[in-house]
Structures are given as C-alpha cells and as structure tokens.
Structure 1
Amino acid sequence: MRIGVLDVGSNSAHLKVMDLKVGAPPAPVTTVKRPTRLAEAVDAEGRVAREAMERLVLSVGEAVYAAAEHGVEELVAFATSAVRDAANQREIVDEVAAATGVRLGFLSGRDEARLTFLAARAWYGWSGGRLLLADIGGGSLEIAHGEGQEPALAVSLPLGAGRLTRAHLPGDPPSRKHVRRLRRRVYERLSETSARVLAGLDDERPVRPVATSKTFTQLARLTGAPRRKDGPYTRRVLELERLREQIPVLASKRAAARAKLPGVSRPRAPQILAGAIVAEALMTTLEIDRVDICPWAIREGLIIRRLQAMSDPAAADAETARLTQAVPAVASRGRSPLRAVPVLTA
C-alpha cells in the first residue's frame, strides 16, 4: 500500500509518501514540502491572516497534486496547533476543503506526543530501553516517556517556538529584557511538568533522552552535529553546555544573520532563539546533559500506526482513522489547478 501523510504545521505543509508492506519497514517514495509561514501571520486576536490562508491553500494543493501523481492510495491529512488553535480555524479548514478537496483534521496535543513517541520507539527499537522524548514544534512542546510502544506519560504544553516568538520576542533582534523575561517564563512553566516527569522516572532504570523536530535538529547542527547530507543513520546529539553557549549568540543577531549560521534555515531563523530557550530550559529542568536527535517524528508515527493495523486490525487507532481519506479526484486532472509555491528547505 502507498500512503501519504500530509502534516500542515506552522512553517510548512509537508507530505511524506511511503510504501507499506507487512513484515517490511516503510519504504520512502518522496517528500514534498511547501511553505505556509502561519506562525508569523497570526494577529492579536489569534486569527490567521488572509494572505497566509491563501498560501496555505496553495501549499496543500501542491502537496495533494503530488500525492495523486505518485499514486497515493490513502492520504492522512492533519494540521497542528497553528491551525488547531486559530480563532478562524473553521474558516481555514473550509477554504482548504473547498479549494483542494482535502479535509484537514486535528490531533490533540497528547495524541501528537503519543504518535511521536511511537515513531521514536520504532526508530530505536526495544534496545533503546526506556525513552524520554521531547519535540518542539511551532505552537507546542510535547514530552513523553515510557518503555513500551505507548508512553507512560504524554503531555503537550503551549511552548512552541513560533508561538513564543510571536508573543514574547518583539524586535529583530529582541531586547535583552524580552529575552530574560521569556527565559524566566519558560522555566516557570516547565518546573511543574518536569517535576512530574522526573517523578515517573525516579528509579534506577536507565533512560535514553531523545528529541525530534526541526528545531532540535537545527540546534544540534548549530552546536556541531553532522550535516543533514550525512544521512539519517548518522548519530546526532545536542549537548546542553554547547546549547547554552549559543543562546546569547542567537539573541544578539537579526533573523537574517541567524540564517547564515550552521544548520539554521531561513524560514526558522526568526524563531530559533525561542526554540533554543525552550530546549535549554527543558534539558535543565529534566536534568539532561545531552539528547539524541531522532530523525522520525509524528508523520512516521502515523505511518507506523497504519502499518501495524495492516497486520493486526486490533491495532487500528480511531484518532488516526478519522484523518484518513482518499486523494481528492480534483488532484488527478493531469496538472495542478493551483499555481506552484516555492520549495521550502528545512
């Protein structure tokens, strides 16, 4: 079976196409990534601006057209917190459906954490032992830990890099006062959650800290991890001390200058400082010196869940099933009805 997972996030609409066969690992076919830049287009009332909505429609349209071109049999389409939490969520979903035929669904923050944990488990296998997972997105931070395929604890907090940048880091670069206030706010918000997590890990069994998301990946590269072209099987780690050294560097630079640093992409340069602040506070409050960077995240978690259901129908997940739909017929007319938007890197 050929499946496509379309993840509409704060920065991009990202389609991943894989072939699934019982008894074999998912086989990558292609990926398509188009810009949405929703994080920078939310007003004081929480509404996504008209221009960003139009960009989102075009991005989803291009991704859906690519899914049809590659013979995708099932499409799993969902939007993360940038759309889920928008004041005009319904308007956005309806416009995307009318223009592209795709009905975007939503996962709760906890389900995002659960599925991302499943992806990490599949990547590291049982030899990974007990995993402690963190994922910094544009709108939220997910934390989970456990020894099985399902985490013993899964939580989501509104500490995404895009959300915090928009709300707490005005200016380019932001003032030292705003940076200090944000760090204090993040530490305060994480203190109780981290205490809960540590309480659940309070024994002598070893824990493997892992992190997913472009934010963690780019922070790891910024602090010396291997480049992306070295491949997904190259080990990458993010070390706390090296991360701390980079926060004042990021805080002192304008977004355009950050984009010239190793690993920092132009679309994420405005919010990488907030991402670094969250990562540093999380690692500190969880008493972690380093995290391994896992190349799989929520898209792969959904793919693994579908693969499990192919061999064992009892493994089917109702939350995942309601996101699944056929590729719209409008996308199969020989060419895309929408104009192309630029490819977005990282």
Structure 2
Amino acid sequence: MKDSKRIGIIDIGSNSIRLAIYELDSGGAYRVISEFKESARLSQKIGPDGALPPEEIQDLVRMLSHFKRICRSHEVTECRVAATAAVRNATNTEQIQETLSRETGWDIEILSGQDEARLGFLGMIQTMDIEDGFLVDIGGGSTEISLFRQRKLVHSVSFPFGAVNTTRKFAPDGEFGEGPLKAIREMVEEALAREPWIASSPGLPLVGLGGGVRTLCKINQRRRRYSLPQTHNYHLPAADVDELAAWLPGLPAEKRKKIDGLSKDRFDIIVPGMIILQTVFQTVKGSHYIVSGAGLRDGLFFEAFYPAVSSEKPIAEQSSDNLLALHSTAPAAHIQRVCRTALKLYDALAEGGTHRYSPRLRMCLHIAAKLYRIGASLLYYQYPKHSFHMIAHTRIDGLSHREMLLCALIASYKAKNRPSRRSSHSKIF
C-alpha cells in the first residue's frame, strides 16, 4: 500500500513465540501481511527453582533475533513485544526481561494476568458482533476468564494453569488415563469455585481464544467436512466438544498425532486444554462455544496502533469498509450509487410486502453492493468470480459464516451464467 507503515507485534507465549506483521495505510485501513511462529514450550522449561535457565533465555534471544531480522526485511518501523505467563511467573523475570532487551534492543513488556484478559477481550470485541458472554483464553501457562455485558468487560481473572504446564504436571508423557483427567477437572473446578461470579450468569455463549481452541475447531470442521476454512466466529456445539473430550484422551499419543486438523506439536497439550475448556463451559452453564480467531496479538495492535473509534456502524460494516479500502477499484461515487440503488429496491420490496427478510439480510446486501467489484483488484476479467472468492475467504468481522457466503453469492451474481457455488457450501446453509 502507498503511504503505509508496517508494525510488528510479538507475543512471547508459554507455548510458542509468534510474530504478526501489520500494514497500516494513511487512510486507516489495515491488514496482516505475514505471521511467523517458533515453538518454545517455556512453561515446560522452567527449572525446579522456578527460574528459566540461562541456556533457555539464550534460545529465546535467538528466536527474537530471528524475528528482528524478519522485521527488518519487511521494513517494519515499530514493534511491540509482550511476554505472558511463563515469563511473568518465573522467579527470574527481571533477568529475562533485561537480557532480552539488551540483546535485541526491544522494550519487553511483561503482561499481568489482568493485562492478558483485557487485551484478549479487546482483540475479540473489536472483531465480533456479540453483546454478552464469557471469554476464555487458554494459553500455555495461564487461563484467563472474563464476563462481558453489552460489549463491556465486567469481570476478569487469570489462573496459573494452561495447556502446557498442566500437561507437564499431570501427564508429561502425553498419555491420559482416568486419574490425570479427573485431577485436571478437580484442579479447574476448585479454582473456578473461588470466583463466584463465574457461575452467576448461566445461558451465555463461551467465546474461546488461543491455539488450542482453534485446533479443536479445525478437528471438528474436518470431521464435519465443513467447506469454509474459517475459524473466526465458528459456532461449536457443546455436544461436539463433549464427543471430542470422550474420544481424544483415549487415543495413544502416536495415534493422536495423525488426527486431521491436529498439528503434531499439539498432540500432548490438546487434551488438557480441552478439559480446561469443557470444565469452564460446564461451570458457566454456557449455551454454546464460539471460536475467536482474534485475541491477544490483535489486542496489542488495536491498543497501541488502531484505537477503537466510536461509531454507530456495526462491526461488519466497519470490517467491509476496511476490506474495500484495501481493494478499491471503482470511484467512491459509483460504489455509493450502487449501494443506494440496491437498498432502495430492497426497502421498496419490503414496504410492498414482497419480502419479510431481516435487517441482517439488508446489511448483507449493503456489504455485497459495496464489495462487488473488489475482485478486479486481482484481475478485471471475470472479476465476479474473484470477488466471490475474496469475500468468502477473507474474514469479514461481525458476519456469521453463512452471512459471509450470502454476501459473496450476492456480490458475484450475474443474470447469465449464474454461479453454482452454493452446493459446495450446503452444510453451512
């Protein structure tokens, strides 16, 4: 993009170290242009004295130095680096922070548990259209739970157990019998009982953050032969999670590695993470699970570089405006005219009683009219096909998966040679 700047966000997590590179243009449009990951398992490397050994600190220096070279090659001008539970809870936190800062030249933030909860909520709430619910972020070394009402954070708490350190404590070999599973559930239940507000609002959805939750989503999608490769805003039925919780622990570790959707570096930690998630869901008496593809790194970016602007527009409208700004190929006046005409026809048909569709469908029509030409940014010829692909496979925050496909189908509709794409997505419709 012209007149743009590139920003690096690094999350030093308890399981992995991740770098996301954002591009932000002068008009305010943004996108992620690259992501990188190093497996670290810091929670497993903490010594008996509670400290991260010097050789592991140097390994962390190596990873961050590698990320710095990547940032330099991508012409990143600003970088925010934050460390979470494993570093925060180590007995030599100050030594780790000082060494990393000295060796890399970056300021290293040590996030508190409350910081993690707040930033995870910020990343989620600016990318999802949801009013009330619980939010759970299961990391490698901690679990944050939050309650939000009317899109405002009400309560939050951080617990010192996550997928990695729970695996290390109860099943270091990656094998799970009845004993370890029962012990994990009891540990989580006892912790949750110390926070009475967690069980005080039954019937709300539970939004899940983190790699473990996204992995469960991918496994479920493969088993259902789900046709849209999107995890963000995926609704996961409680019965499906219960089925996975009954199936996965009983598999030998070697067989677990071969499950479609489960990466080999998570074959051992997926089970404790899943048991933590299921136990939280049962305690809050949730209605269903929702997967968020946005979380801590997004919150770090939004807080520092893309603060929320008060707007009456729904999240989906804001997100589609961002997508249009990234791929605009028509004069603004033309796009505005198309949108006005489409909505005028929709409203006239509604007033005449021809249809009784919901306001959500009116919004989908508006988004489709706004984005119908973005495919021309790839290639003008056959741009409706490109527009379909870009809308269906580019995350439009605030829309359900079905709504994204509706937008894509409406935007790419032609009276002649009508697209026959709906059949491949029949399970979503």
* CA–CA distance in structure 2, aligned partners of residues 118 and 310 of structure 1: 9
In 1, are the aligned partners of 2:128 and 2:233 still within 8 Å (CA)? Answer: no
Q: For residues 24-81 of structure 1, give each alpha carbon's deviation from its aligned partner in whole angstroms, at most 9, with x where no partner exists.
A: 4421121121222213212332222444333212111111111121111211001110
Listed as ranges, the matches of 1:148-163 within 5 Å are: 150-163=152-165
1:110 aligns with 2:108: no
Listed as ranges, the matches of 1:1-346 within 5 Å are: 1-21=5-25, 24-125=28-129, 128-147=130-149, 150-193=152-195, 195-199=196-200, 201=201, 207-224=204-221, 230-232=228-230, 235-309=233-307
My pick for the range that moved more, 228-237 or 146-155, is: 228-237
Q: Secondary structure of the residue that 1:114 maps to in structure 2? A: helix
* CA–CA distance in structure 2, aligned partners of residues 220 and 107 of structure 1: 27
* CA–CA distance in structure 1, aligned partners of residues 59 and 286 of structure 2: 39
Q: 1:92 to 1:256 in 2, by over 3 A?
A: farther
* CA–CA distance in structure 1, aligned partners of residues 262 and 48 of structure 2: 27
**Amino acid in structure 2 at the alignment position of 1:275:** G
* CA–CA distance in structure 2, aligned partners of residues 72 and 54 of structure 1: 24
**Cα distance, 1:285 vs structure 2:** 0.5
**Cα distance, 1:21 vs structure 2:** 4.2
Q: 1:265 to 1:232 in 2, by over 3 A?
A: same
* CA–CA distance in structure 1, aligned partners of residues 293 and 175 of structure 2: 30
* CA–CA distance in structure 1, aligned partners of residues 247 and 205 of structure 2: 29
* CA–CA distance in structure 1, aligned partners of residues 48 and 282 of structure 2: 31
In 2, are the aligned partners of 1:22 and 1:311 still within 8 Å (CA)? Answer: no
**Cα distance, 1:112 vs structure 2:** 1.0
**Amino acid in structure 2 at the alignment position of 1:33:** K
Q: Secondary structure of the residue that 2:43 maps to in structure 1? A: coil
What TM-score results when the alignment is normalised by the length of structure 2? 0.65
**Amino acid in structure 1 at the alignment position of 2:145:** I
In 1, are the aligned partners of 2:83 and 2:108 still within 8 Å (CA)? Answer: yes
**Amino acid in structure 1 at the alignment position of 2:70:** A
**Cα distance, 1:299 vs structure 2:** 0.6
What TM-score results when the alignment is normalised by the length of structure 1? 0.79
* CA–CA distance in structure 2, aligned partners of residues 172 and 116 of structure 1: 28
**Amino acid in structure 2 at the alignment position of 1:157:** F
In 1, are the aligned partners of 2:204 and 2:287 still within 8 Å (CA)? Answer: no
Number of residue equivalences: 305
* CA–CA distance in structure 1, aligned partners of residues 308 and 220 of structure 2: 41
Structure with the bigger percentage of helix = 2
Q: 1:233 to 1:251 in 2, by over 3 A?
A: closer
Q: Secondary structure of the residue that 1:124 maps to in structure 2? A: coil
Q: For residues 103-149 of structure 1, give each alpha carbon's deviation from its aligned partner in whole angstroms, at most 9, with x where no partner exists.
A: 32111111111111111111114xx2224211100111111222456
Q: For residues 173-201 of structure 1, give each alpha carbon's deviation from its aligned partner in whole angstroms, at most 9, with x where no partner exists.
A: 144322222222212222343x40343x4
* CA–CA distance in structure 2, aligned partners of residues 145 and 239 of structure 1: 20
In our comparison, the structure showing a higher alpha carbon Rg is: 2
In 1, are the aligned partners of 2:82 and 2:109 still within 8 Å (CA)? Answer: yes
Q: 1:265 to 1:54 in 2, by over 3 A?
A: farther
Unaligned runs of 5+ in 1: 313-346
Identity of aligned residues (%): 27
My pick for the range that moved more, 235-244 or 286-295, is: 235-244
**Amino acid in structure 1 at the alignment position of 2:206:** P
Q: Secondary structure of the residue that 2:221 maps to in structure 1? A: coil
Q: 1:291 to 1:174 in 2, by over 3 A?
A: closer
Q: Secondary structure of the residue that 1:261 maps to in structure 2? A: coil
Residue in 2 that maps onto 1:324: none
* CA–CA distance in structure 2, aligned partners of residues 62 and 229 of structure 1: 36
In 2, are the aligned partners of 1:241 and 1:289 still within 8 Å (CA)? Answer: no
Q: 1:216 to 1:124 in 2, by over 3 A?
A: same
* CA–CA distance in structure 1, aligned partners of residues 71 and 53 of structure 2: 27
Q: Secondary structure of the residue that 2:141 maps to in structure 1? A: coil
* CA–CA distance in structure 2, aligned partners of residues 57 and 219 of structure 1: 31
In 1, are the aligned partners of 2:206 and 2:281 still within 8 Å (CA)? Answer: no
* CA–CA distance in structure 1, aligned partners of residues 214 and 235 of structure 2: 9
* CA–CA distance in structure 2, aligned partners of residues 256 and 70 of structure 1: 38
In 2, are the aligned partners of 1:13 and 1:63 still within 8 Å (CA)? Answer: no
Q: 1:159 to 1:303 in 2, by over 3 A?
A: same
**Amino acid in structure 1 at the alignment position of 2:119:** L
In 2, are the aligned partners of 1:129 and 1:207 still within 8 Å (CA)? Answer: no
In 1, are the aligned partners of 2:233 and 2:293 still within 8 Å (CA)? Answer: no
* CA–CA distance in structure 2, aligned partners of residues 143 and 239 of structure 1: 20
